Every structure is written in structure tokens, then in C-alpha cells.
Structure 1
Amino acid sequence: MSRLAHWCFLHRRAVVAGWLLILVVTVALSQSIGSKYNESVSLPGTDSQAAVNLLTDNFPSASGEGDQIVIEAEGGADVRSDQVQQPVTAALSKVAAIPGIASVVSPYSQQGATQISKDGSVAFAAVNWKMKAADVTKSDARKLIDTAKSADGPNVRISLGGQSIENEESAGPGVSVVVGAIAALVILLIVFGGALFASLMPLVTAAVALLIGTSLISLLSHVMDTPSVSSDLAVLIGLGVGIDYGLFIISRHRGSVKAGRSYEDSTVLAVNTSGRTVLFAGMTVCIALLGQFALGVDYLYGVSAASALTVALTMATALTFLPAMLGFLGPKTLSRRERRALAEKGPVAEDASGFWLRWGKFVERRRVPVAAGALALVVVIGLPLFSLRLGSSGAATDPPDSTTHQAYAALSRGFGPGYNGPFQLVTEVNSPSDAQAFDTFLAAAAKEPGVVLVTPPTTSPNGKVALAILYPSTGPGAKATVSLVSDIRGLAPKAEGPGHPAVHVGGVTPANIDFSRVLSEKLPLFIAVVVVLAFLLLVTVFRSLLIPLVAAVMNLLSVGAALGAMNVVFTWGWGDSILNIPATGPVDAFIPVLLFSVLFGLSMDYEVYLVSRMQEEWHLRRRARNGSHADQVLDNHWAVTHGQGKTGRVVAAAAGIMILVFGSFLISDDHVLKEFGFGLGFAVLVDALIIRGLLVPALMHLIGPANWVMPRWLERIVPNFSIEAATRKEVQ
């Protein structure tokens, strides 16, 4: 690491020019080629996927994206009245002529007779595209919205729902990024004593990585299935970790400059100590993110690859671009006041003092009650995890002024919430008896509790597949809907009898339920893979078994607390008005996986930064005196307390930046970003304040010198990537 830092410092013009060239090339390629995001989810082996396969092969017009045009009569009119029907019929004729539209079923047609509410206040037209939602461009969806809304008038209100409409209205992080960056800059200015250039460097470094990263993600979407949310989540993650990585390195650099080292030596020391923290923490984040491939769900492949790519870029820019920029800044990494104090009073050695040393001594004195109290508090926060319900948030949680939310609300008022999540009942028809058996099943399904309507079956053009639509009485995110899907799937064999093709239950809602089930079943394997890999990495870093073990358990506690808090806010509805959450419901199924991936890595940031400094203090203390076991116990207390005293301010600042950056996404209109932002922000708060600030130091005091011990036989076979071993000369 020291050679890399030295080379980047000396060849700073070439390093900066190289990164800027990469930035220009990737952005230019991204702009010229564009993106090809894919929102579709493939779940091999599930019932909903079997329905999709049958429709795709035999009933193309029914397998494409399905949207709804919702018609509301205003001013006391009825949807059947001429003043409503005429403009709507004209608009639907124009919609049918849009390229890519396969069919439009009007509520005024015989086929759409059931698409008018009983009171005549609401109706809807079913729009089927020739392609799936992933292939419907934003311009196509916008054309549909504008054409349908041409019927708007004093007596008619039009709104639209469907996945392609959701995709078109997705605004991305937008203002949240700006707010988060400004908040981070304020904290950096406070931490760096008003040194403007030093405060800007983490933001500039992160910005370079994010611009390159988002451009590469756009290009990545052409070679692997990548949902559009991948780019937004990558920005959220990259902004947080990128600023923190810069904070760690610049903080160590500034401390070395104040201690009298040259700018070059300070840069080398910072990269060789804090830079190693960045390297190992970043590797842990990437391992956790790429561990999602173990789940076998292709929807997450693009998300994990995009996020891991962005984190790798923030790590690379922090270790190369940032040292080069420090070479350009020279004395400007300090504020004028700090430069004047250095010139007048001379170098000042970096030492533990002030509030954080007093905090560390408090934890040392009260280690038993501190450990017990902190552990109890984290467990209590995480208890709601055991009632966590996964699913899909859907249009109910969209902003109230969005057309998708308005369509959801109108359908719920006119027909019931279940009309926002119909089921597709699909079966093969190989003989008249198969068709008769399917009719028998549909009649039985219509009598099931929780079913509002089952449409008559429609036969595919080739005559091999029959399709019917079932409308439940409850919304897509309701527990009763999950139970109904299971009941309908179990009903088919009983109603049809033996010897007939299986009836598959598909559609967006059953597919989301299957998605949640698949992730829930595979989540333990994913967690085990990530925890084991992170444990092995930390063993090589700290040359210890207990420190990685404690870190793994603490990280699991952080994730549990975050998921528990998310359940309280997004499902139970506590504080939803304060946090501007339009509606409650299940937590999106893929959020816990992503949250675990990112948080496990972010927790390692603080763990490695905190414990590596403690390890430095331990080795320095042990070299100064090599005494008895009692001396070792005292040395351990010294190392833990002073390591915490020296890192507490930076860890608190890093956590504050993370909380503000992630928290800024609560002002976004995107519900997924709200969930992710709140979950990560709350988790970092718990992790930095309770776990790293209280629980981990208290446990290390209680464990004693065994913190730093590894069996000799294991010592010989494990590679030595110890931060302390690599930096012994510098820290002396």
C-alpha cells in the first residue's frame, strides 16, 4: 500500500488525468449507447413462472405488459353517460393505435362489461402490450399516458396503473443526492476544522466514482439483466461509503501533517493505515453484495453487480485519485488557523483526549452494565423482526399525486383493493374434457372466500391454453391475498380431479408472493456465505479469532435492529406521517437481502477502523513493556480505551455522514429508496452509537488479552494481511 500511495503522490498529474479520461470515455459511451434496463423477474420452478411460460409460448397477446386506464366520472355523472363515454371511447381508439399495443378492452365492450363498478362511478380499460414491461420504453409509456389523458375533462378523470407506468414515473434519487452531499459537507467542515479543500475532497472523490459507476451500470444493462433501481441504489450506497472512505484517509493524513510529517509521508502513512481499512472494508462490502448470486434469483444479479462495481470504484478512487489530489493540495488540507498554529507552536502529536477519551474510560469502568444494557437495547429494537412481512409495496405507496397512486385509489373505491392485483389462472387444454374440468375449477374458485369475480376463460389463438382472471377482495400486499394464492393453488387438483393438466396461478401479485417466498427460503444460505467469508477475511486482518467472531455477531445484531425498525415504520405505520410514507404494507422482498449486504460491509468500516487502531495501541504498548498476564490485562484496557479515544470522533463523523446521506432519501418519492434509506440510516445509527460506541469496546474489555490471540498452528497457515504488521515502522 505504501508503494501505491508513494507512486500516486509522485505521479499525481498522470493519476488524475487517467481518472478524468476514464470518466469522459465512460460517460460518452453511456450517452451514445444508452441503457437497456430489465425489470422482469424470472423464478424457475415456481407456479407463477410456469404460468408465464405457458402464456409466452401459446398466448403472446396475454403475456405482455398489462396496464389499466382508470376512468372516474366527475360532477355526479355516470361512466355510462354520453358526456363520459364519448371522450373516453375516442381516447381508447387512439390508444389502440399506439405502436406496440396488442389490445385494448374497453369497459363499453361486451368483453369488458364487468369493468364498470356497480355504482357507475368508476370503470377501467385493460391495455395489453405486445412486449413485456422491460421492453416498454419510457417514451412509449408516456405516449400511452398522454393519449389516455386526452379524455380528461370536467366530467372525466383519467389515471393509469401498471408496471410500465410505474417505470415511466420513477424519478430516481434526484434532490436526495444534493441534500445528502450538502449535509455531508457541513459535517466534514466541522470535523476538519473549516478546511474547505480537505472537506471537498471526499465529495469530489465519491463524485468521480459515481459518475463512472452509473455510466458503467448503464452499459452493464446491455450484457446482463439489470433493473433500473440498480443505478439509484448504487448511487445511494456509493455516496455514503465514498465519502466515508475519503474521511478516514484524509483524517489520518491531517493528523500526520499536524504531527510534523511531510505531506508525502503523511499521504503514504494515511493510505498504508486508513487506506488498508478502506481496502478491507470495501472488499467486505463487495463480498456481501456479490454473495447475492448464491440466492439464484436473476433479478438480484444486476442489482448486486451494479452496487459492487460502484463500491469497488469508490474504493479505487479513494486509494489512488485521493492521494494524488492530496499531493496537489499540500498545506491546504489544513485550514488557515491550523497552518498558523502549526507554524507558531510546532508539531503536535496525535493523541487520545477530550470527550472520546472520557467516553472510552467510562466504558472501561462500567464495562459489565454497559455491555448488558447495550445488548438488551439492541435486542429490544430488533424484536419486531420476528413479525416482519415481505412482499411488494406496489402503487399504494406511490406519491399521492402520481397517476399510479390515483389509479390504485380509484380502483379500490370502485371495485375493491383486489382489482389492483388480479390473478391469472392458466392451464393447458388438450381435450374437451380438459376445458370442462377448467370450467369446473373456475366455478369452484369463484365460491372461495376472498374472491370477488372470476372471468370466463379465454382460449389462446392456437387453442392449447385457456386463461381466466380472478379478482380477490383484498389488496396485493394483504396477508389474506397471500393465503388466497395458496388456497387457489391447492383447489385445482380437488376441483378438476385427476388426469387433467395443472392449473397455474400467475400474474404480478402471485409472482411477487413467489419472489418473497423464494428469497425467504434462500436467505439463511446467503447470510451464512457472507458471514463466513467476512469472518475469514477479518481473521487475516486482525490475526485473531475472537475479534472476527464478535464482529460477525455484532453485524447480525445491527441488521436485526434495522429490519425490526423497518417493520415498525413501514408495516405497523409508526411515524409514517413524520417520514412522509403514504401507506403501510409489507417490506419489499429484496430489501432485507440488499440491506444485509450493504450494512454488513458498512459495519466492517467502523469495525476495522476502530479495532485496527486498538490493535496499533496494543502492539505499541506490548513492545514498550513485555510483562505478566496482569500487565497484559492492563495493556488491553489501555489499547481499547485509547484506540476508541483516537477514533471516536472520526467514527461519529462517518456515521453522521452516512445517516444524513441515507436519511436524505426519505424525501424521495420512490418508496424503495425510502425503505432502503431509512433502513441503512437507522442501522448505522444503532451500529455506530450503541454497538461500536458501547457494546464492542465493553466486550473487548471483558475478553481481555485473548482479543489478540490466535492459535499457533493457525498462525502458520493464515496469510498475514494485518494492518498493524504492515504499518509498524510508520506508527513508531
Structure 2
Amino acid sequence: MAVLLHRLGRSAYHHRKLVLGIWLAVLAALITCVGVFGGKLDDRFTVPGTESQRALDTLGRTLPEASGAAAQIVFTAPEGHRVTDAPYTAAIAGAEAAASKAPQVSAVIGPTTSGAVSADRTTAIVQVQYSVQQPEVRASSLDAVEQAAKAAERKGLKAFVGGSVYGSKGVHIGPSEIIGVGVALLVLVVTFGSLLAAGMSLLPALLGVAVGLTGLLALTPAFSISSTAVTLALMLGLAVGIDYVLFILSRHRQQLARGTDPQESIALANGTAGSAVVFAGSTVIIALAALSVIGIPFLTTMGLGAAGAVLVAVLAAITLLPALTGFLGARLAPKPGSKAARRAVDPGASEGRATLGARWVRAVVAKPLLTVLAVAGILVALALPAADLRLALPDNGSAPVSSTERKAYDVVGDKFGPGFNGPLLVLTETDKGPGAQAGAQAARKLRDLKGVKAVLPPVPTRDPAQTVIQVIPETGPDSARTGRLVGDIRTVAPDIRETTGARIAVTGTTAVNIDVSNRLSDSLLPFMAIVVGLSLILLTMVFRSLLIPLKAAVGFLLSVGAALGMVVALFQWGWLADAFGLDHTGPVVSFLPIILIGVLFGLAMDYEVFLVSGMREEWVHTGAASGSVIHGARHSVRVVTAAALIMFTVFAGFFPLDDALIKPIAFALAVGVAVDAFAVRMTLVPAVLALAGRHAWWLPAWLNRILPDLDVEGTRLHKAVSQHSEAASAPEPASVPEPVS
């Protein structure tokens, strides 16, 4: 691979105008496709094969208004008044009439029909049912409903619009993300000591992100792609894009400082550091693509979309970067005599000039056992809250406090009970005859279950054998008790069928979300086993060692555990919630752990390869176990530190978003990267290798023979380049004149 990437880098440098033109042409074509054919993002959570999804699909055919999106208009009377007073009933009736004329609205049910009036008569709910799912609801339709609510406000009522029609706000680039990129630029300037080199790091990364995002958006007419998938792709593409360019460019500048020709330098950097980039990127891509085996469509699109963004970032690093360096030539070299130039020629060989990172590694290796015990103990302590991990999908209770959907959610929960924010739908179906009688009998059975606050009368569908029963739980949609109620209904289903002759199935948004969370919880351990097993195999091939892969896997698990523990403490327990500006705590987003495992696995392998490959190279050359750890780390610790800081700031830049899906994912990835890079890779890894000594590099001879040699360090490339240089510099043999006959 190193030889192939060497040739690719040399060719991209030579044909720089063509390579840059191809990237710009692809970007222009994708932007055109998005503008002409771009579809809408789809934020539905579906789980094919589950009871709730099958029942919801059935209702889509027989009672579309029950399976479509829904809005609530929550009216509250002024203090000292009641919504049942004549002026306010007229205002509510007017709002009902106006909402019923909104596009895509199939039904409007007022409080006089549904009885949705609070016990103190101060609050009433108007239900607005759409004939389409939430992604298909047009903004004009929702605006019409909001305008109907505002008309009632002008007559003295307070009105808030909520319901399942409100979903994710989609992709958002705001000040925090721009600040994150600005901090990344500052880190690059400090790392390189050059604004030109820092800008060169950002340019290919940003162009790669633009191509990746527009490519994903161009697929929306053909595939269901969520706004969360696009934001995750943006987050990952930006973070790894800058990091991968950083790794290759730092090697290129180091070689330029040593006098290497610019074209040969970028080719060598592409063959050596580029090999590690391709390996690291491949691990991220494999881990993210593996999300598709779980069988949940929205998670599949998230994984494949993010994997595509990482793939584009890798391609930009190994093709676009060499091409762009061709326009600058030797100007990217550090200034002679500068600190960057001295560090490139001799990266901290003497104690007096040792960098902070090199001194840190030396201190860690000096007391390895104490370091291992201290770091492992701290990470285990941070991971302890993860034992209380509860998973759920966010609802309007996680929306910003200032939003209308959050205000409606809070008023309904306060006046009617939290269960009204997440009612369950129970579909009954008989094999013979009308289902009305069987539905009524089933409703009476459901009223006796623990955790049920109310059961509404059965509603017939277009199929005479079916009815739909609305069950109001005592607890909110993200409560564990609501999940147990769904399980209890399914447990008594055989008894209800035996006594009433009706099959029942629990569905609705709340039940679907519960099934999604359960599926993800069940998939968590198998997915982690696949990822850990993959890391053991890949690292054994890279480093020809048994201990290093085992140590890397254990460190990865400690990083994941610590990140999840901090997520639980902040988002679920509410520790430091005020300091972080969180106004809602509860279960963790159900797909966060799997996303965290998939992404952090690739990034952990990234840092592992860049740090340990230098140590292995020193070990191969010197055979000194402790010395190889110290001297091998000094070559890459500065770059890895910069890469981790960039990754942290990019992820942290997405934390301020008022999106209940993105905020915890951004936090988990940011702290996960920080823990893995600084606590595990740059502290625990050197300490363990120092403790293990020569045994760290041991591999059975039989296993060494059968494993493929990935040559991530580019050993064969260096030999080939050296042989070519020797052959080119060797004097030609003197010509011997032919004898004269």
C-alpha cells in the first residue's frame, strides 16, 4: 500500500491542476444535483419487523389519520378564568375551524368531542391530525396551524402548538461550530508555527467536507436520510478531515526541513503517513458501516452517511493535499533556524529541548506501574455511572425551553399528567365478524393494568374487523414504567385474544420509540464484541504483537466506559447540568452508545497506529525496549496531541446546538476523544509497554508467518526509495573502446 500511495502522491503533485479541477467539478456537479433534485430529510424512527411497526403500517392503510403526524394546540385561560367560559369556547372553536382548513390536515378534534379539558377547567387541547408522516408535513401547513393558535391568543387565551409534527431542526451551522473551526486553526498554527501550513491543513479538509455533505444530500430523493445523519457526517468529516491532512502535512514539512525535494517529500509522506491515514480511516469506515447489520434503517443511513464522509476525507488527504502542496512547493518548509525547523530535524533529542509531550512520556515511563494503576482507577471510577444507563429517544420534553413544542409539552404534563404526552395506540383485530364488541371488551381488560391512567373508547377503522384504543399511561413517554406497561400489554395479549377473540398490538410513536431503544440495547454488546474483535485482528497484523492489540482493546473499553459514565452523570443524573446549560435530564439517546463505540473505535485505532508505529520502528532499529517507547513517542506525540485537540474542539463546537439528538453525541465524542488520546494512548499505552519490556513485541513464529504484512510504517517503501537513490547516484561504468582490427 505504501508504494501505491507514494506513486499516487507523486502523480497528484505533478498533475495538480487536473486533480484540483476534478475535485471542484465534482463539488459543482453535486451542488447542482442538490439544487435540482434534492429531497426532504426524513427523521422517522422505524424498526422493521417489530410489533409496533407492523401495526403502524397496518393503520397507515386502514386509518391513515392515526398513523400520520399529529399536532396539539394547548389553550390555557387567563388566571381566574376557565376555558369553558363562553368567550374562550368560541375562540377555541374558531381555532379548530381555521386548523381544519390547513393543507394536509385530515382531522381536527376539539375538547368538546374528546373531553380533553383539565380537571381545573383552565386548559384544553385541540388535536390536529395530518394525513402524512412528519417528514412530509409542509412548513406552510404547520404555519397555518400556528396562525390559528395565534388568532385565539388575540382573544385572551395562551396557546402553544406541540405534538409529533415537530422533529429535529436539521443541519445547523452556527457560531459555536465556526468557533470550533477557529480553535482548530489556532491549534494548527501553534503546531506548525506557520499560518500558511495551517491554512493548507484546513483547505483540503473543508473541500472534502463540502463534497461529502453535498453527496449525502444529493441522495435524499432516493434514500431516507435524517437530519441527524447529515449533522453526524458533517461533524465526523470535519474532524477526521483536518486530522488526516495534519498527519500527512506534518511529515511533509519535516522532510522539507531536511532538504528533501518537494515532490519526493509529499510522495514519501503520502506513502508513510498516508498509509496510516488509510488504515485509520478504514477502521472508522468499517465500524460505521457495521451499524447497518443492526437492521434499523435510520441507524443504517447514519452509519453509511458518516462512513461516506470519512471516505471522502481520506481521499482528500491522499489526493487533494498532494495536489495543493504542488502549488506551493518548497514554501511549506519551516523557516531555516526556526523552532519548527529544529524540531523537524531533531524532534527533542536532547533533554533541554524536549517538548512537553516528550517529557510527559518520559515521566510516565519512569513510574509505569503507578501510572497504570492511577489511570485505570480513574477511568473505572468515571465509568461507574454507565451501569445505570437508560436508553430512550428524545421527545418534545427535550426541546429548548423557549420553543412552543416544549411549552405545550410542559403544560400538558402539568395539567393532564405526563402520560398524555405519550399515549399508546392498541390495534385490535378479529378474524370473524365486526370488531367493535371485541374492541370494547379489550378496552375493559386494558383498564385493569397497572400504570394505566385512562383508556379511551375504541375507534373503528376502515376495516370493520379493526378498532384502535388509545391508552394513556400514568408516566411520560421516556419513563421506564411506560416501557414496562408496553411489555405488560403484550404479555396479556394471549389472554385477551382467548377471552375476546381479538388480536392486539401496541403501536404509536411512544411504542415505536420503545422498540427502537430495546433493539439498540440488545445490539449493544454484540456490536461491541464485533468492534473489539476487529481491533484485535487489525492491530495484530499491523504491529506483529499479541500484547499491543490486547492493551489497545482494553484501553478502548476504558475510554468508552468513561465517556458513557460522564454522559449518564450529566444528561441522565443531571450533575453539573446548570453549568452546561441543560434544562432537561432523562434517559440517554438510544443510539448514542453504538455511535460512540463505532466512531471512537476508529479514532482510537488512529492514535494507536500513529503513536505505537514510531515505537515499533525504534524497537526494530535499536532493540531497546524502554528506549524505543520514549524515543518512538517523541516523533508523533506533538502531532497526536494537536490532532486530539482539533477533534475535541470540532466535536465540542456542536454541543451548544439545541438538538436533543446531537448535543449528547457531541459531548460523548468530545470527552471520549480527550480521554482516549490523553489518558489512554499517551499515558496508559507507554506505561504498559514499559512494564512489558521486550514481551510487548512478541508474536509466535507460526502466527507471524500466516498474518499478512500491512507495512503501515512504509518499511518496504523506504528500502525501495533508498535503493533507487543509490542506483541513481552510482557512477556509470567507463566505456571501453572497441579494439581496432
TM-score, reference length from structure 2? 0.92
Matched to 2:186, the amino acid is: V
Aligned counterparts of 1:532 and 1:206: Cα–Cα separation in 2: 31
Deviates further, 484-493 or 24-33: 484-493
Matched to 1:707, the amino acid is: A
Q: 1:588 corresponds to which residue?
A: 589
Give secondary structure in 1 for the equivalent of 2:107. strand
Matched, 1:192 2:199: no
Q: 1:178 corresponds to which residue?
A: 178
Q: CA deviation at 1:34?
A: 1.3
Q: CA deviation at 1:432?
A: 6.1
Q: 1:544 corresponds to which residue?
A: 545
Give secondary structure in 2 for the equivalent of 1:98. coil
CA deviations over 1:69-106 (Å, ceiling 9, x no partner)? 22222344322234333333223212212221111111
Task: List aligned pairs for 1:138-537, cutoff 5 A.
Answer: 138-153=139-154, 155-167=156-168, 169-170=169-170, 172-193=172-193, 195-334=194-333, 338-339=335-336, 341=338, 348-352=345-349, 353-431=354-432, 435-495=436-496, 497-498=498-499, 500-537=501-538
Q: 1:728 corresponds to which residue?
A: 718
Q: CA deviation at 1:19?
A: 0.7
Q: CA deviation at 1:454?
A: 1.0
What stretches of structure 1 of length at least 5 have no aligned partner? Answer: 622-631
Aligned counterparts of 1:346 and 1:135: Cα–Cα separation in 2: 57
Q: 1:625 corresponds to which residue?
A: none
Aligned counterparts of 2:716 and 2:396: Cα–Cα separation in 1: 53
Give secondary structure in 1 for the equivalent of 2:132. coil
Give secondary structure in 2 for the equivalent of 1:696. helix
Equivalent pair of 2:254/2:344 in contact (CA under 8 Å): no
Task: List aligned pairs for 1:661-680, cutoff 5 A.
Answer: 661-680=650-669
Deviates further, 325-334 or 589-598: 325-334
Deviates further, 324-333 or 96-105: 324-333
Q: CA deviation at 1:527?
A: 1.9
Aligned counterparts of 1:472 and 1:282: Cα–Cα separation in 2: 46
Give secondary structure in 1 for the equivalent of 2:653. helix
Equivalent pair of 1:422/1:472 in contact (CA under 8 Å): yes
Q: 1:711 aligns with which of 677, 696, 700?
A: 700
Aligned counterparts of 2:155 and 2:581: Cα–Cα separation in 1: 31
Deviates further, 96-105 or 708-717: 708-717
Q: 2:641 aligns with which of 609, 632, 652?
A: 652
Aligned counterparts of 2:717 and 2:156: Cα–Cα separation in 1: 75
Aligned counterparts of 1:220 and 1:705: Cα–Cα separation in 2: 52
Matched to 1:63, the amino acid is: S
Q: CA deviation at 1:453?
A: 1.4
Q: CA deviation at 1:305?
A: 1.0
Equivalent pair of 1:104/1:128 in contact (CA under 8 Å): yes
Q: CA deviation at 1:340?
A: 6.0
Give secondary structure in 2 for the equivalent of 1:503. strand
Q: CA deviation at 1:671?
A: 1.7
CA deviations over 1:522-549 (Å, ceiling 9, x no partner)? 2222222223333333333223333222
Q: 1:627 corresponds to which residue?
A: none
Aligned CA distance change for structure 1 residues 334 and 89 (closer, same or farther; 3 Å): farther
Q: 1:79 aligns with which of 78, 83, 88?
A: 83
Q: 2:690 aligns with which of 701, 706, 712?
A: 701
Q: CA RMSD in A?
A: 2.3
Give secondary structure in 1 for the equivalent of 2:159. strand
Give secondary structure in 1 for the equivalent of 2:73. strand
Q: CA deviation at 1:32?
A: 1.3
Matched, 1:91 2:95: yes
Q: CA deviation at 1:680?
A: 0.5
Aligned CA distance change for structure 1 residues 163 and 613 (closer, same or farther; 3 Å): farther
CA deviations over 1:675-731 (Å, ceiling 9, x no partner)? 011101111111111101111111111222233333333333322212232443499
CA deviations over 1:218-241 (Å, ceiling 9, x no partner)? 122233322221101111111111
Equivalent pair of 1:27/1:211 in contact (CA under 8 Å): no
Q: 1:626 corresponds to which residue?
A: none
Aligned counterparts of 2:478 and 2:86: Cα–Cα separation in 1: 36
Equivalent pair of 2:497/2:504 in contact (CA under 8 Å): no
Give secondary structure in 2 for the equivalent of 1:671. coil
Aligned counterparts of 1:173 and 1:586: Cα–Cα separation in 2: 26
Give secondary structure in 1 for the equivalent of 2:222. coil
Aligned counterparts of 2:721 and 2:456: Cα–Cα separation in 1: 76
Equivalent pair of 1:295/1:523 in contact (CA under 8 Å): no
Q: CA deviation at 1:28?
A: 1.3
Aligned counterparts of 1:307 and 1:561: Cα–Cα separation in 2: 23
Give secondary structure in 2 for the equivalent of 1:723. coil
Equivalent pair of 2:421/2:476 in contact (CA under 8 Å): yes
Q: 1:55 aligns with which of 59, 68, 72?
A: 59
Aligned counterparts of 2:330 and 2:120: Cα–Cα separation in 1: 75
Q: 2:727 corresponds to which residue?
A: none
Aligned counterparts of 1:376 and 1:513: Cα–Cα separation in 2: 35
Give secondary structure in 2 for the equivalent of 1:159. strand
Aligned counterparts of 1:197 and 1:571: Cα–Cα separation in 2: 44
Equivalent pair of 1:287/1:533 in contact (CA under 8 Å): no
Deviates further, 558-567 or 717-726: 717-726
Equivalent pair of 1:419/1:471 in contact (CA under 8 Å): yes
% same residue = 36
Aligned counterparts of 2:627 and 2:268: Cα–Cα separation in 1: 23
Q: 1:67 aligns with which of 63, 71, 79?
A: 71
TM-score, reference length from structure 1? 0.93
Q: CA deviation at 1:189?
A: 1.3
Larger Rg: 2
Equivalent pair of 2:441/2:500 in contact (CA under 8 Å): no
Matched to 1:579, the amino acid is: F
Equivalent pair of 1:175/1:668 in contact (CA under 8 Å): no
Equivalent pair of 1:96/1:104 in contact (CA under 8 Å): yes
Aligned CA distance change for structure 1 residues 269 and 730 (closer, same or farther; 3 Å): farther
Aligned counterparts of 1:343 and 1:430: Cα–Cα separation in 2: 80
Aligned CA distance change for structure 1 residues 13 and 448 (closer, same or farther; 3 Å): same
Matched to 1:189, the amino acid is: V
Q: CA deviation at 1:154?
A: 5.9
Give secondary structure in 2 for the equivalent of 1:71. strand
Aligned CA distance change for structure 1 residues 308 and 138 (closer, same or farther; 3 Å): farther
Q: CA deviation at 1:252?
A: 1.6
Q: CA deviation at 1:123?
A: 1.4
Equivalent pair of 1:172/1:670 in contact (CA under 8 Å): no
Deviates further, 584-593 or 84-93: 84-93
CA deviations over 1:433-484 (Å, ceiling 9, x no partner)? 8543432332232243332211100111231210111111211111221222
Equivalent pair of 2:75/2:158 in contact (CA under 8 Å): yes
Aligned CA distance change for structure 1 residues 79 and 2 (closer, same or farther; 3 Å): same
Aligned counterparts of 2:127 and 2:721: Cα–Cα separation in 1: 70
Deviates further, 392-401 or 484-493: 484-493
Q: 2:105 aligns with which of 101, 105, 118?
A: 101
Aligned CA distance change for structure 1 residues 17 and 442 (closer, same or farther; 3 Å): same
Aligned counterparts of 1:697 and 1:344: Cα–Cα separation in 2: 27
Aligned CA distance change for structure 1 residues 506 and 384 (closer, same or farther; 3 Å): same
CA deviations over 1:296-316 (Å, ceiling 9, x no partner)? 112211111110000100111
Aligned CA distance change for structure 1 residues 124 and 332 (closer, same or farther; 3 Å): farther
Aligned counterparts of 2:344 and 2:395: Cα–Cα separation in 1: 59
Deviates further, 424-433 or 19-28: 424-433
